[in-house]
């Protein structure tokens, strides 16, 4: 079984531009490349897990995410980082597209996307981590049996805490998260 780092997209891996599907506006977050490279070198799969309620809300079409995924893979590829998986939830209970206006088991804080990725990619969730910028990301990771890290960048506004929403650590960026993860796995890591 493989180990993985599941990454939230908006506000974590890429700069948050609400409901953006314009590839020209996709920019990787600061302080992520060194950490992602080190995690990949240590054998972690890198899997993106993202809620995309803009589809259910009718803001953009599902196929518009193809260009977004391609751009993210391209940006990471410039640094020889491979995105191993790209999973998204198109649902939202308040959506205007009836078939997508549902309560589902994949929309974070539910863990359905992580379970699906683990099954399809042979990932051991107990050896894996979830990194995100809001507590719904943390909760999804914890529900799946992963260890979870919160990037405390000001995007969480509710701070509704309970045991499921408690991160193992709070950090400023993915590079810091990578140091934490690698040290927990017994690796000697200098600052990034």
Catalytic residues, by residue number, are: 8, 10
**What 3 state SS string does the chain have?**
CEEEEEECCECCCECCCCCCCCHHHCCECCCCHHHHHHHHHCCEEEEEEEECCCCCCCCCCHHHHHHHHHHHHHHHHCCCCCCCEEEEECCCCCCCCHHHCCCCCCCCCCCHHHHHHHHHHCECHHHCEEEECCHHHHHHHHHHCCEEEEECCCCCCCCCCCHHHCCCEEECCHHHHHHHHHHHCCCCCCCC
Separation of alpha carbons 6 and 132, rounded Å: 9
Q: How many CB atoms lie within 10 A of CB 175?
A: 21
């Amino acid at each position: 079984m493989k180990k993985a780092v599941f990454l939230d997209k908006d506000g974590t891996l890429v700069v948050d531009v609400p409901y953006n599907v314009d590839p020209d506006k996709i920019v990787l977050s600061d302080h992520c490349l060194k950490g992602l490279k080190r995690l990949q070198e240590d054998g972690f799969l890198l899997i993106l897990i993202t809620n995309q309620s803009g589809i259910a809300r009718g803001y953009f079409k599902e196929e518009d995410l193809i260009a977004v995924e391609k751009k993210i893979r391209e940006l990471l590829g410039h640094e020889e980082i491979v995105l191993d998986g790209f999973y998204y939830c198109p649902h939202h209970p308040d959506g205007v597209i009836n078939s997508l206006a549902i309560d589902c088991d994949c929309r974070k804080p539910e863990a359905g996307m992580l379970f699906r990725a683990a099954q399809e990619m042979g990932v051991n969730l107990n050896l894996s981590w979830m990194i995100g910028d809001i507590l719904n990301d943390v909760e999804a990771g914890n529900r799946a049996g992963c260890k979870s890290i919160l990037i405390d960048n000001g995007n969480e506004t509710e701070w509704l805490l309970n045991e499921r929403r408690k991160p193992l650590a709070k950090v400023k960026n993915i590079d810091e998260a990578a140091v934490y993860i690698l040290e927990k796995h017994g690796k000697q890591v200098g600052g990034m």
